[in-house]
Amino acid sequence: MEHEYQNNPSGKMPQKIRFEYDDDEGEEESRFQDPDETIEEAATESSNLEEDLTMCDPDPDDASVIGADKTSADYYFDSYSHFGIHEEMLKDVVRTKTYQNVIYKNSFLFKDKVVLDVGAGTGILSLFCAKVGAKHVYAIECSGMADMAQEIVKLNGYSEVITVLKGKVEEIELPVAQVDIIISEWMGYFLLYENMLDTVLYARNKWLVKDGLVLPDKASLYLTAIEDADYKEDKIEFWNNVYGFNMSCIRKQSIMEPLVDTVDQKQIVTSCQRLKTMDIAKMDSGDASFTAPFKLVAERDDYIHALVAYFDVSFTKCHKLMGFSTGPKSRATHWKQTVLYLEDVLTVCEGETIVGSMTVAQNKNNPRDVDIVLKYSLNGRRCKAARTQSYRMR
């Protein structure tokens, strides 16, 4: 299967991608259901973006939007006011169709239930739920896109079923005391970047009825190791000699910033290790900060330049297990993978192990950023190395 996406020639930072899937060709193995396996009718009706959607300016009365004094939280919410980011998410077929399939193929879960859509964006998940017979859907969205969601709900004849509430989940008053289901697409790069998980947990603690459902209810983070000489040279070592000048002080910064990019599965040199599984229905906010050990076994003789993190999410309360993976062996998503370059180039022989631990925590100054500390060591025949490296997703 061919994936076509627009590469950003200047770097590996988050970028817009065009997803094109050839549905007729074989796919890499996934333990999850094919997201394209859905009812025909649904595929056409899920496109609600009209041509006249325009950029929503920040609300001038919104006290959080204060010109030069804007906080990073303001920039975060502003970014979701523009339709472009929603277009990218909606066009991520793996993501959006998985949610659609979960809802359409498990309508029994939603029938006559009160649903809360946390961070509704365009309202797409609310529309899916309304379509399969939810009694009422409360769609909370704090960005300017809430106005569009309101209009989209009306355009599609669901004003009686979906109530769009504009505001932050943490500040809003819900017209009901409890909801039966919380649905949300909260995942960020490296799963935890953006820290929207806290918002889902807040909503769960406040409004979810006992034995209510959180969808998705499981999320896991994984680690593997790759050969990536060319890109490391281009992105990291580049700074050592820029037109004959030493700019290695920037190299220090660049190696600390994980890169979000798609990794070719042929680059994978070792086994992969699950670092952490989060049970969204039960976990506490603090559980998103953790230290997890890992052991990666070399599957061939090769060099290792980086470790790569990715995640999957699953909906275990469905009739059959559903979900998707953002791993390099699965169909590409807009989350791509997160690449952490190593200071050392590790030379591994088949069967040798890289052991270590990864510590993940919210950044203290900006809780939407993620601090990562990686400890690794290799005691191999050709290479011995041990090091601790710090990274920050920002």
Ligand X SMILES: C[S@@+](CC[C@H](N)C(=O)[O-])C[C@H]1O[C@@H](n2cnc3c(N)ncnc32)[C@H](O)[C@@H]1O
Residues that bind ligand X (CB under 6 A): 77, 80, 86, 89-90, 119-122, 124-125, 140-143, 145, 168-170, 185, 196, 199
Question: Which of these is catalytic: 27, 88, 185, 352?
Answer: 185
For residues 371 and 363, give the distance between their C-alpha atoms in angstroms, rounded to a whole number: 6
Between 90 and 339, CB nearer to ligand X: 90
Q: Are 181 and 110 in contact (CB under 8 A)?
A: yes
For residues 327 and 227, give the distance between their C-alpha atoms in angstroms, rounded to a whole number: 16
Between 34 and 88, CB nearer to ligand X: 88
The CB-of-106 to ligand X minimum distance in angstroms stands at 17
Between 143 and 347, CB nearer to ligand X: 143
The CB-of-346 to ligand X minimum distance in angstroms stands at 35
Which residues does residue 277 pair with via DSSP β-bridges, in sequence order? 220
Residues in the chain: 394
Q: Are 269 and 348 in contact (CB under 8 A)?
A: yes
Lookup result for tokens 């976990």: 283
The CB-of-193 to ligand X minimum distance in angstroms stands at 11
Question: Which of these is catalytic: 51, 160, 171, 194?
Answer: 194
Distance of CA 134 to the CA centre of its chain: 26
The CB-of-187 to ligand X minimum distance in angstroms stands at 7
> Rg (Cα) of the chain, in Å, rounded?
22
Between 169 and 181, CB nearer to ligand X: 169
For residues 166 and 58, give the distance between their C-alpha atoms in angstroms, rounded to a whole number: 12
185 in active site: yes
Between 169 and 192, CB nearer to ligand X: 169
Q: Are 151 and 125 in contact (CB under 8 A)?
A: no
The CB-of-157 to ligand X minimum distance in angstroms stands at 20
* DSSP strand pairing (218-226 vs 302-315): antiparallel
Distance of CA 28 to the CA centre of its chain: 20
Residue nearest to ligand X according to CB distances in the complex: 119
88 in active site: no
Query: What residues are annotated to the active site?
Result: 185, 194
